[in-house]
Amino acid sequence: MGKKIVIVGGVAAGASAAARLRRLDEEAEIIMFERGQDISFANCGLPYYIGGVITKKNRLLVQTPRGMSRRFNIDIRVLTEVQQIIPAEKRVVAHDLASGEKYSESYDYLVLCPGANPVIPDIPGVNRPNVYTVRNIPDSEKIKAHVELSDVRNVVVIGAGFIGMEMAEMMQLRELNVTVVEASPQILGVLDPEMARLVEKYVALKGVKFITGDMPVELQGDPAVNKVVLKSGTELPADLVILGIGVRPETWLAEQAGLAIGETGGILVDEYLRTSDPFIFAAGDAIQVKDYVTGYNTLVPMAGPANRQGWVVANNIAGRNIKYPGSQGTGIIKLMDMVVAVTGRNEKTLKSWGIDYLTCHVHPNSHATYYPGASQMTIKLIFSKDEGKVLGAQVVGFDNVDKAIDSLATAIRARMTVYDLQDLELAYAPPFSSAKTPVNLAGYAAGNILDGLVEPVRWEEVESRLKAGAVLVDVRTEEEFDSMPVEGAINLPVDDLRNKLDQLPEDQEVLAFCQVGLRSYVANRILRQKGFKVKNISGGYKLYPKGK
């Protein structure tokens, strides 16, 4: 007689575990409980269904209960909530939400995949009927119906993470007035501030309003919200409020069963994704994982890792003993025509963990500029001070951003250094890339820093350095200097620099910049070899906080 496996949760991790288990063990008895009415649906596609980009709801269903049950011979019980685990008896108590019946089910192995719940702020008015979260298909149907059937003009999105920003895009696509409110000083917290500014500037030009460093304290109106009141006193008209603050692991069932919870608030699992009970595994958004880059404990509520974890759990129950090496948090988002992608750790996280690092910025074109349609992207690379191991990357652009971030994510997974990025032989033809691809160029820029050929500084440092006596030099053309000025800078175009060295003080620090950092790198090499104390402003005017 085969093993009996009970799975709690039937979306990403749960469905992945169930399907893999059946492929490995035809004799196992597999029961999957799902509290909602759908299994294996595309959470990440919900905003696009609400916005009308995806027109049919069934396109979001990777599998249906009937289809999956038929193909994999799995007992799938939707609209059924597991309300209790009794580990000593290896039994769960389930509640059929349709009939009201409660019953118990035994197991040999239990797999917990309860996911995560949206964070809902504890403020007056948050439970009113036109305030929504985006977690499942019924949520998305309610928002879609509200927009299409009600007189909605003003939408307030609370939270500027991936879901909040995607919802802002979809509401703007429906030609509504959209305001995004974010409590932290910047949008998209997975990015570092200078990269987030690029995104905010672009999306704001498309008509979305942003309020950062502020938060709602009350949602006013009766019976529905018509006004959002912020801590600053600002009042925003609102016909629809969408909560996109983030998620937290759903752990109440595990806690009730006495399973260990990690320091991050997720279910504690070992490298095989086994909980503190040897017969209970867990996977997906509810678990605490190891950060692949640093080894620190973290939460990574993303679909890719969840699916992989479900697959790993199934292998281990089947006796294959596969370790889960950790998550690195690779993600990507489309906002109008802009694409934003991340992998590995950002500066904020590395600082909080006390890890030393260096950074560089490059602004390569998506493909050869002489071939029509090239666009510029910005790549931020974060790497270790000693050997230059790639720790993280952020890419903002329009074309080929996914290609760049996937190469960089692979580099992190392979524990490559920035020198390895220089050596990567990536596909090139003029319509697709450049002979030195964007990833190669990021590797060269980082390698120059490690090799001591150039020393970068940031715009945030410039003011204090100028007060200490440094000289700010713009090496762009006179036309660029006049049309895009930087306060306090003198103009010495790079092509004339060798003839104008007498205009620079030899005993003062020189801070050079251009549009994207390439010409100023050339200027740095000239000046350094001529005996000047010179530094390169990372990212150039493109990252100038006060720039156009």
What does each C-alpha distance from 394 to 240, 361, 380, 412 come to in angstroms? 32, 10, 5, 13
- Collapse the DSSP code of 268 into the 3-class scheme (helix H, G, I; strand E, B; otherwise coil) and give the result: coil
* Gap between the Cα atoms of 94 and 36, Å rounded: 13
End-to-end CA separation in angstroms for the chain: 70
By CB neighbour count within 10 A (0-12 exposed, 13-18 middle, 19+ buried), where does 290 fall? middle
**85-93 contacts, C-beta under 8 A, 24 or more apart:** 85/110, 85/253, 85/254, 85/256, 85/257, 85/280, 86/257, 87/257, 87/258, 87/259, 87/277, 87/279, 87/280, 90/279, 92/6, 92/8, 92/33
Which residues lie below 8 Å from residue 296, measured CB to CB, with a gap of 6+? 290, 353
Strand partners, 479: none
Q: Is 113 a catalytic residue?
A: no
Strand partners, 6: 31, 110
* Helical (H) or strand (E) element with 107: none
What does each C-alpha distance from 434 to 400, 442, 494 come to in angstroms? 11, 13, 24
* Gap between the Cα atoms of 248 and 255, Å rounded: 14
Could you tell me what percentage of the chain is helix, strand and coil, using 3-state DSSP and rounding each to the nearest 5? 30, 25, 45
Q: What residue ranges in 289-400 does DSSP mark as E strands?
A: 289-290, 297-298, 331-335, 338-344, 358-362, 378-383, 390-397
By CB neighbour count within 10 A (0-12 exposed, 13-18 middle, 19+ buried), where does 442 fall? buried
8 Å CB contact between 481 and 491: yes
Among the options 44, 113, 360, 514, which is catalytic? 44
Which residues lie below 8 Å from residue 400, measured CB to CB, with a gap of 6+? 366, 367, 377, 432, 433, 438
Closest CA to 543 of 199, 162, 181: 199
- Collapse the DSSP code of 146 into the 3-class scheme (helix H, G, I; strand E, B; otherwise coil) and give the result: helix
Number of residues assigned to the chain:
548
* Gap between the Cα atoms of 120 and 124, Å rounded: 11
* Gap between the Cα atoms of 363 and 539, Å rounded: 7
CB atoms within 10 A of CB 243: 23
- Catalytic residue positions, numbered: 44
